[in-house]
Amino acid sequence: MSSSVNVANENGVAVVMIDNPPVNALSFHVREPLYEALAALRDDATAKAIVIACAGRTFVAGADITEFGKPVQQPELRAIVALLETIAKPTVAAIHGTALGGGLELALGCHFRVADQGAKLGLPEVKLGLLPGGGGTVRLPRLVGATKALGMIVSGTPISASEAKTAGLVDAVFDGDLLAEGIRFAREMAAAGGPFTPVRERNGRLAETEPAAFDRQAAELAKKARGLEAPLACIEAVRNAITLPFDEALAAERQLFLKLVSGDQSRAQRHLFFAEREAAKVPGKDPQRRKIARVGIIGAGTMGGGIAMAFANGGFPVILLETSEEALQRGLSMIEKNYAVSVSRGSLSEEARQQRLGLFKGSTDYADLADCDLVIEAVFEDMAVKKQVFGKLDAVARPGAILATNTSYLDVNEIAASTARPQDVLGMHFFSPANVMKLLEIVRAEQTAPDALATVAELARRIGKVAVVVGVCHGFVGNRMLSARGAENEFLLLEGATPSQVDKAFTDFGWPMGPFQMGDLAGLDIGWRNRKARGLTAVVADTLCEQGRFGQKTGSGWYRYESGSREPAADSDVEELIRAKAAALGIARREIAADEIIERTLYPLVNEGARILEEGVAARASDIDVVWVNGYGFPIGKGGPMFWAGLEGGARIVERLEHWHERTGRPIFEPASLLRRFAETGSWEGVDC
Known catalytic residues? 105, 125
14 or 77: whose CB is closer to ligand T1G?
A: 77
| Amino acid, single-letter form, for residue 634 | F
Q: Which of residues 103-162 bind ligand T1G (CB under 6 A)?
A: 105, 124-125, 128, 130, 132-134, 136
B/e letters for 124-143, b = 16+ CB within 10 Å, e = fewer, are bbbbbbbbbbbbbbbbbbbb
B/e letters for 200-237, b = 16+ CB within 10 Å, e = fewer, are beeeebbeebeeeebeebbeebeeebeebbbbbbbbbb
What is the closest distance, in whole angstroms, from the C-beta atom of residue 96 to ligand T1G in the complex? 12
Kindly tell me the sign of the dihedral angle through the C-alpha atoms of 453, 272, 521, 334: negative
134 or 182: whose CB is closer to ligand T1G?
A: 134
89 or 239: whose CB is closer to ligand T1G?
A: 239
Q: Total binding residues for ligand T1G by CB under 6 A?
A: 25
Residues 221-240, mask of contacts with ligand T1G (x by CB under 6 A): --------------------
Among 5, 14, 15, 25, interactor with ligand T1G by CB under 6 A:
25
The C-alpha atoms of residue 37 and residue 84 are separated, in whole angstroms, by: 11
Burial of 313 from C-beta contacts in 10 A (0-12 / 13-18 / 19+): middle
What is the closest distance, in whole angstroms, from the C-beta atom of residue 105 to ligand T1G in the complex? 5
Q: Is 322 helix (H, G, I), strand (E, B) or coil?
A: coil
Q: Which residues contact 455 (CB under 8 A, 6 or more apart)?
A: 289, 290, 292, 402
Among 18, 100, 121, 602, interactor with ligand T1G by CB under 6 A:
100
125 or 322: whose CB is closer to ligand T1G?
A: 125
The C-alpha atoms of residue 451 and residue 464 are separated, in whole angstroms, by: 20
* 13 touches 187 (CB < 8 A): yes
Report if residue 98 touches ligand T1G, rule: CB under 6 A: yes
What is the closest distance, in whole angstroms, from the C-beta atom of residue 434 to ligand T1G in the complex? 21
Residue 160 forms beta bridges with which residues? 120
128 or 456: whose CB is closer to ligand T1G?
A: 128
220 or 286: whose CB is closer to ligand T1G?
A: 286
Among 77, 242, 473, 602, interactor with ligand T1G by CB under 6 A:
77
Q: Which of residues 277-296 bind ligand T1G (CB under 6 A)?
A: 277
Report if residue 499 touches ligand T1G, rule: CB under 6 A: no
Q: Which helix (H) or strand (E) holds 121?
A: strand 120-122
User: What backbone torsions phi and psi does residue 425 show, to the nearest 5 degrees?
Assistant: -105, 135
Report if residue 269 touches ligand T1G, rule: CB under 6 A: no
61 or 469: whose CB is closer to ligand T1G?
A: 61
Among 22, 176, 284, 665, interactor with ligand T1G by CB under 6 A:
22
Q: Tell me which long-range contacts 679-682 makes (C-beta under 8 A, separation of at least 24).
A: 679/649, 679/650, 679/651, 679/653, 679/654, 680/650, 682/646, 682/650
Among 1, 39, 55, 65, interactor with ligand T1G by CB under 6 A:
65
The C-alpha atoms of residue 432 and residue 663 are separated, in whole angstroms, by: 37
What is the closest distance, in whole angstroms, from the C-beta atom of residue 373 to ligand T1G in the complex? 22
What is the closest distance, in whole angstroms, from the C-beta atom of residue 278 to ligand T1G in the complex? 7
The C-alpha atoms of residue 551 and residue 134 are separated, in whole angstroms, by: 49
Among 8, 9, 40, 66, interactor with ligand T1G by CB under 6 A:
66
Report if residue 61 touches ligand T1G, rule: CB under 6 A: yes
The C-alpha atoms of residue 259 and residue 638 are separated, in whole angstroms, by: 17
Provide the binding-site residues for ligand T1G, judged by CB under 6 A.
22-23, 25, 61-66, 77, 98, 100-102, 105, 124-125, 128, 130, 132-134, 136, 274, 277
